[in-house]
Structure 1
């Protein structure tokens, strides 16, 4: 029977999240990835270089990040298992714990729901602005609710299901390589001219690593929400991302609301297609409904992790 490494990491995250005291004292491990990526980008992503050269240097940046992260995680895992014997997996679970974000995702989205339900639009805008990249200053109730629900659905993959998947597949190296790649994608994997060439590799590898987890998320959301299958299959590809549309479409169908649609980034309006277009506008209470659905989907992930204890060697 395999050690319950993933279950232990999930339990630590569900119970504690990433404590504020830890964050203030040592930050979060992804902060180290961000510093490495930023340093490489400033040094190598210069506009006087050709797009081909910047793409190559972006590949080098990602390779260094993956090799460094994977090597350090593998060395730590082997050392802990060798040093602590049968209970070494507990120490490995402690190192895997920060890669998961069940609790923090719930808390961040609940921080939007609470003031919005109470009618405090200004506070709700500030809270949703902390978790989405779109312009939030002029969002109405429906726009705030929609943004929060979309972020919850997409981050269920990036912050919970995909890290768990790679933890089960590749142990400590797997989960931290995923987090390194995902951080790189969030920082440089954009389509704007500055990032398009340098961040090309980060975006492509992140897409590949999320391919299975995103679809798993969609299935779990549909199961947990007792519906959403039709909208998921019809609208998942409406999203610009090859992966994010799957959990968002499942969430839209399960809640019978419409997500995505027109929005703006940095003052530039974008006419994105609707996901779940025949659904109604999202309301403040729908955020809490989405959070309950998210909780049930997380429980299904716990069952998957528990099954892995019996199935993996």
Structure 2
């Protein structure tokens, strides 16, 4: 069996996540990547400059430097005799199994006790849409959509790139995904400068999104028809796959018209089931998510044995 770095990193993440006390003391590696992106964006994303070209240069600098730091860090821990266990510790912050679960669970808890204001505050921490006017069903659907989408970019994709490219591959992916979340937007300010970040993120998530959707269908025992039919109803070429899979498994309708900054975007529905999502549906989604994560463990184990 090859070094079980991926399995160990998954286990550490499930066991401890990224504790609040640790975040308060040292932050998170993604925060460092975000600061570099912010500095470059503030200097280069200006009128009169070749924004698309400078956006390409920005993503190249950020991804290459992140991968280089990861490679040097791996050499360092191996040089200290820490072996694959040390590498797993360096990979651990790039995964978010426990963190995602702990962000979604309070939404279900608040909805179950009829505390809509608390549920809205909880879901506002994981979605970008307006939440102040959401009813119980809207809050539940928003939480489920975020859970399904984040299963890809928070767990499946980092794990995929860890298996494919080792520690540098994982952290290069995190750099790409962070850049997309910060600058890969369609608004006028970001359209040209963030073009490269958005396109590269689409490419990096292409395989993991489809693998993640299949795992959700397997974990949920269904959802295949909705996944194949509605995956392309999402504006993203990737996010719709895991959302459609989850909508099919839970027999819900997700996505649809969504308000951002007071403006309603008339997005198509994903799925053809109920609109009346509830706390029970969020809990069911979390159970499916947990089983899908377990399947990723199996894949990581198979990859270790096969290599």
Q: Give TM-score, length-normalised by structure 1.
A: 0.96
Residue in 1 aligned with 2:230? 235
Q: Tell me by how many angstroms 1:245 deviates.
A: 0.1
1:47-84 per-residue CA deviation (whole Å, 9 max, x = no partner) reads 333xxx10000011101101111111111212322431
Q: CA RMSD in A?
A: 0.9
| Counterparts of 1:133 and 1:48, CA distance in 2 | 30
1:14 aligns with 2:14: yes
Please state if 1:254 is matched with 2:249: yes
Find 2:65's aligned residue among 64, 68, 71.
Answer: 68
How far residue 280 of structure 1 moved from its aligned partner, in angstroms, is 4.0
1:55 matched residue in structure 2: 52
Per-residue CA distance 1:103-133 (angstroms, 9 max, x = gap): 0000000011111111000000001001000
Instruction: Choose which of 75, 85, 89 in structure 2 pairs with 1:78.
Output: 75
TM-superposition CA deviations, 1:20-54 (whole Å, max 9, x none): 111000000000011111111111101333xxx10
| 1:283 paired to 2:278 | yes
* SS of match in other structure, 2:114: coil
- The correspondence for 2:120, drawn from 112, 118, 125, is 125
Aligned: 1:2 with 2:6: no
- The reply on whether 1:92 has 2:120 as its aligned counterpart is no
- 184, 190, 194: which one aligns with 1:189: 184
Q: How many residues are paired up?
A: 307
Residue-by-residue CA offset, 1:279-301 (whole Å, 9 max, x unaligned): 44312210000000000000000
Distance in 1 (CA, whole Å) between partners of 2:59 and 2:109 is: 39
**Post-superposition CA distance 1:164-186 (Å, at most 9, x none):** 00111111100000001100000
| 1:115 lines up with 2:135 in the alignment | no
Checking the alignment, whether the CA contact within 8 Å between 2:251 and 2:272 is kept in structure 1 is: no
Shift of 1:277: 2.7
Report the Cα distance in structure 1 between the residues aligned to 2:125 and 2:147, rounded to whole angstroms: 13
Kept in 2, the 8 Å contact 1:256–1:280? The answer is no
What CA distance in whole angstroms lies between the structure 1 residues aligned with 2:154 and 2:178? 11
Q: Quick check: 1:105 aligned with 2:106?
A: no
* Residue 311 in structure 1 maps to residue 279 in structure 2: no
Secondary structure of the structure 1 residue equivalent to 2:289: helix
Q: Deviations over 1:172-204 (max 9, x none)?
A: 100000001100000000001100000000000
Query: Is the 1:2–1:310 contact (alpha carbons within 8 Å) kept by the matching residues of 2?
Result: yes
Q: Deviations over 1:126-168 (max 9, x none)?
A: 0100100000000001100000000000000010010000111
Q: Could you list the runs of 5+ residues in structure 2 that have no partner in the other structure?
A: none
Long gaps (5+) in structure 1: none
Q: Which residue of 2 aligns with 1:214?
A: 209
Q: Which residue matches 2:260?
A: 265
Q: In structure 1, how many angstroms separate the alpha carbons of the residues matched to 2:187 and 2:112?
A: 36
Answer whether contact 1:231 1:253 (CA < 8 A) is retained: yes
From 148, 170, 178, the counterpart of 2:173: 178
